[in-house]
């Protein structure tokens, strides 16, 4: 026990040296309760047109299907919060997570560095790195690893730091001392439920109809945005931060220290008219290294037009 505890402490220290705010550990195994919940969510059609959510069900609920012999899920949180805002209050809005460079690439590189360091320290380790790009139930694993609880908006909330974090995982065949899950501290608060512009969050909370979520409508949906959402988009052209902006726990959010997540000045100073008239060349230059590329030029133009 002392060895797996000492190793866990070393991994936690290495992770923080690489910029991760919090590191926790969960015992790899089948997520039975979560599997039933996911199946119910899919059957209700809450995933909208995200057909990929139906794929690889067994891999989503069992990390040993992704990494044979997996013993531990290392869960990590990387802060992206900034107080910076787009300067023109009438400009269509971007979610804060998309201000800087694509987090997938930035964090994936750090995960590989961490895994390399662990192999140097502990010997041959079989494992894989994940950053929101594979069938991993990251919020559930982060809860089991003691990094927070899924709030009523279903985002992971840390009681000392809020929810403006990217989640990442290492699934490895090394035994490390697991952490204890964290209890729920949402209490009777319903601010996220009350504030959601499209009423995507269930009235009881802890359930989101993804097909109504502004992030889904502006990023995942490839078709035209349904007319039922006209006038309800709160001027968001890519993603949405409303349920985070109103969450009381985000009063504890602190500015990130990752240079790659700093937004270019030209992004923050663009005026409403410039967004409406944005060309493909400007789009490509502005979002060359950004997660906004996912929606593509035509997708962003569609979103901006829908807001008018």
Spatial contact of 73 and 28, defined as CB atoms under 8 Å apart = yes
Q: How confident is the model at residue 54 (pLDDT cuts 50, 70, 90)?
A: confident
Spatial contact of 162 and 94, defined as CB atoms under 8 Å apart = no
Question: Can you give 225-237 as a three-state secondary structure string?
Answer: CCHHHCCCCCCEE
**Does 192 have pLDDT greater than 60?**
yes
Most confident segment among 41-55, 122-136, 194-208: 194-208
The pLDDT tens digits for 132-185 are 978 899 999 999 999 999 999 999 999 999 999 999 999 999 999 999 999 999
Spatial contact of 218 and 46, defined as CB atoms under 8 Å apart = no
**Does 51 have pLDDT greater than 90?**
no
Spatial contact of 142 and 167, defined as CB atoms under 8 Å apart = yes
In 104-261, the DSSP E strands lie at 127-130, 149-150, 156-157, 165-172, 236-238
- Please give the share of the chain, as a percent, with pLDDT higher than 90: 95
What's the Cα-to-Cα distance from 169 to each of 56, 98, 222, 245, rounded to whole Å?
18, 20, 28, 26
Q: How confident is the model at residue 304 (pLDDT cuts 50, 70, 90)?
A: very high
Tell me how far apart the alpha carbons of residues 60 and 62 are, in angstroms, rounded to a whole number: 6
DSSP 132: S
Residue 56: per-residue pLDDT:
86
Q: Return the closest-CA partner of residue 146 out of 279, 43, 295, 22.
A: 22
The pLDDT tens digits for 237-274 are 999 999 999 999 999 999 999 999 999 999 999 999 99
Spatial contact of 143 and 159, defined as CB atoms under 8 Å apart = no
Q: Whole-prediction pTM value?
A: 0.96
Give buried/exposed letters for 80-108 (b at 16+ CB in 10 A, else e).
Answer: bbbeeebeeeebbbbbbbbbbbbbeebbb
Q: Which helix (H) or strand (E) holds 25?
A: strand 22-27
- Catalytic site residue 132? yes
Q: 3, 124, 132, 209: which is the annotated catalytic residue?
A: 132
């Amino acid at each position: 026990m002392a060895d797996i505890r000492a190793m866990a402490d070393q991994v936690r220290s290495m992770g923080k040296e690489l910029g991760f705010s919090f590191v926790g550990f969960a015992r790899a195994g089948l997520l039975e309760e979560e599997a039933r919940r996911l199946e119910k969510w899919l059957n209700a059609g809450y995933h909208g047109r995200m057909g990929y959510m139906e794929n690889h069900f067994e891999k989503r609920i069992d990390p040993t299907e992704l990494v044979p012999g997996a013993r531990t899920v290392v869960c990590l949180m990387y802060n992206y919060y900034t107080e910076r805002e787009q300067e023109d209050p009438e400009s269509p809005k971007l979610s804060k997570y998309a201000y800087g460079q694509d987090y997938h690439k930035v964090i994936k590189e750090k995960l590989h560095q961490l895994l390399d360091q662990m192999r140097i320290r502990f010997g041959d380790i079989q494992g894989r790195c994940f950053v929101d790009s594979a069938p991993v139930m990251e919020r559930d694993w982060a809860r089991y690893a003691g990094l927070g609880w899924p709030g009523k908006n279903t985002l992971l909330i840390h009681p000392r730091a809020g929810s403006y974090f990217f989640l990442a995982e290492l699934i490895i065949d090394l035994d490390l001392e697991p952490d204890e899950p964290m209890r729920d501290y949402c209490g009777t608060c319903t601010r996220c439920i009350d504030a959601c512009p499209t009423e995507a969050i269930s009235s009881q909370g802890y359930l989101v109809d993804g097909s109504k979520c502004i992030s889904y409508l502006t990023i995942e949906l490839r078709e035209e945005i349904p007319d039922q959402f006209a006038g309800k988009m709160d001027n968001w052209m890519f993603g949405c931060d409303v349920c985070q902006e109103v969450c009381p726990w985000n009063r504890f959010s602190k500015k990130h220290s990752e240079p790659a997540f700093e937004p270019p000045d030209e992004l923050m100073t663009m005026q409403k008219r410039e967004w409406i008239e944005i060309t493909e060349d400007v789009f490509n230059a502005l979002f060359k290294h950004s997660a906004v590329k996912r929606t593509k030029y035509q997708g962003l133009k569609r979103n901006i037009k829908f807001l008018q």
